[in-house]
Structure 1
């Protein structure tokens, strides 16, 4: 199933260079921007768009689906990249906490 643009969790953003980002805010569409899961349990029809200004610059056409999406290669590469980033985030958080602890020790002296 293609991305459900009528879902309240669908988000689209166009950047100044013309690139567009399409995603599920809940990160439940591993094949975004091409597909949502067929039986997504969190699908919720967008009832109203109060306060939003809809522009004309957002491209209406979703890019062509590459072969790597159909055979699962894209999802596995993205999962590996996410694991690397998550591992780095834990290391960085530990570094920051260590620096904060050192500052606290200096203030006590």
Structure 2
């Protein structure tokens, strides 16, 4: 049996805003839902779910649809994103590969 995931109010609001931005972008460009769905290679139902802010569609699909209608994901141009991505790669290289919770209790009673 599939468990239903719960989302915070902030997450639900963010999804709703993002979906509305996508719908505004589509409508402003004069694209029908079917046109956009065809360009993104998704069903109209998936597009409808994205536009209404449903949490189910894959994030890559949502980002692709957003890019197709001109919704900017970040306040930066492509070159800035490339630089930022490289910096984050450098930072991740310096951080540990994984985080482990210590199971050993520290005896600090002197």
TM-score, scaled to structure 1: 0.29
Which protein is richer in helix relative to its size? 2
TM-score, scaled to structure 2: 0.29
Structure number with the bigger relative contact order (C-alpha 8 A, sep ≥ 6) is 2
